């Protein structure tokens, strides 16, 4: 599990919420960020258990046709950083609104942290299944309306839009190309881009069918993310 600090948390976008973490005291911030980090870890475990996202991720990692260099930790944004140890390319691009949990649900997470119970078991499986939609959907109009398109990118390009009631999956790798000096090499590069575009559409279709909900899969690059300004080494101690 990866733990985030306040600076990293503040790189989220889009944010459709009046919640203000800065109004919390230091301990309140610490608890909230610990809950955010642990919930994210559990949500990855849930998706890996109930969908084929790990298999889709491994397909890119083990490709013998094209090269997909993985992103180094220092170049990741908040969302991909939280996927470390879970997936190589795909990551959850939704915000997680921990403040929407009930008192009992908060206590469940805090007790897990205090007792250092970070394993994904049947109890956690049910907890995530019962709560993840209310935590990741963007409440655009304050009425929990659905099917509202929202921009999950830095520009107005349609490729970054997804419905506010979607599980949004990001995908990113280094667009590393050793040599584009010949027509053959340039064609191979273009072929890879066409391959990944088709592949992401297939992943979207599969995840939509597996989860029975709206799913968007968005490809990101260095120009469409917000990197961390700083990240302190922290231990979860409450």
- Residue 216 and residue 168: Cα distance in Å, rounded? 5
CB 93 within 8 A of CB 171: no
- Residue 238 within any structural domain of the chain: no
Structure confidence at residue 230 as a pLDDT band (50, 70, 90):
very low
Residue 43 falls within a domain, yes or no? yes
Say yes or no to pLDDT of 235 above 80. Answer: no
- Residue 187 is given by DSSP the state H
pLDDT digits (tens, 9 = 90+) for 40-53: 999 999 999 999 99
Residue 170 is assigned to a structural domain of this protein? yes
For the segment 148-164, what is each residue's pLDDT rounded down to a tens digit?
999 998 777 788 999 99
The CA angle 237-42-110, to the nearest 5 degrees, is 35
> Tell me, what's the pLDDT at 238?
53
pLDDT at 236 over 80: no
In this predicted structure, the answer to whether residue 178 has a pLDDT above a threshold of 70 is: no
133 found inside a domain? yes
The answer to whether residue 230 is domain-embedded is no
Residue 229 lies in a domain: no
For residues 42 and 128, the answer to whether their CB atoms sit within 8 Å is: yes
Residue 237 above 60 pLDDT? no
pLDDT of residue 143: 81
pTM above 0.85, yes or no: yes
Give the domain extent around 210: 6-15+23-224
pLDDT higher than threshold 60 for residue 11: yes
Average pLDDT of the residues in 116-144: 95
Is residue 106 situated within a structural domain? yes
Name the 3-class secondary structure at 163. strand
pLDDT reported for residue 229: 58
Compute the average pLDDT of residues 201-221: 97
Please tell me the total count of domains within the chain. 1
User: Smallest Cα–Cα separation from 20: which of 28, 166, 92, 79?
Assistant: 28
Helix (H) or strand (E) holding 149: strand 149-151
Classify residue 142: in a domain, yes or no. yes
């Amino acid at each position: 599990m990866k733990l985030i600090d306040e600076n990293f948390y503040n790189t989220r976008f889009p944010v459709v919420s009046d919640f203000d973490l800065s109004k919390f005291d230091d301990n309140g911030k610490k608890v909230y960020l610990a809950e955010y980090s642990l919930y994210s870890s559990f949500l990855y475990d849930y998706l890996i258990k109930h969908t084929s996202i790990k298999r889709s991720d491994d397909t890119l990692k083990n490709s013998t046709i094209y090269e997909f260099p993985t992103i180094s930790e220092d170049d990741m944004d908040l969302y991909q950083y939280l996927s470390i140890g879970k997936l190589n390319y795909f990551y959850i691009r939704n915000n997680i609104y921990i403040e929407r949990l009930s008192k009992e649900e908060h206590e469940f997470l805090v007790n897990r942290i205090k007792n250092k119970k970070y394993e994904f078991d049947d109890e956690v499986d049910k907890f995530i299944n019962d709560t993840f939609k209310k935590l990741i959907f963007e409440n655009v109009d304050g009425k929990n309306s659905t099917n509202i398109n929202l921009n999950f990118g830095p520009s107005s390009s349609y490729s970054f839009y997804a419905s506010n009631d979607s599980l949004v999956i990001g995908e990113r790798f280094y667009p590393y190309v050793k040599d584009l000096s010949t027509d053959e090499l340039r064609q191979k590069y273009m072929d890879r881009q066409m391959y990944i575009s088709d592949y992401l559409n297939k992943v979207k279709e599969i995840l939509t069918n597996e989860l029975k909900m709206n799913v968007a899969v968005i490809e990101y690059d260095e120009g469409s993310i917000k990197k961390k300004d700083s990240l302190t080494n922290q231990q979860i101690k409450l």
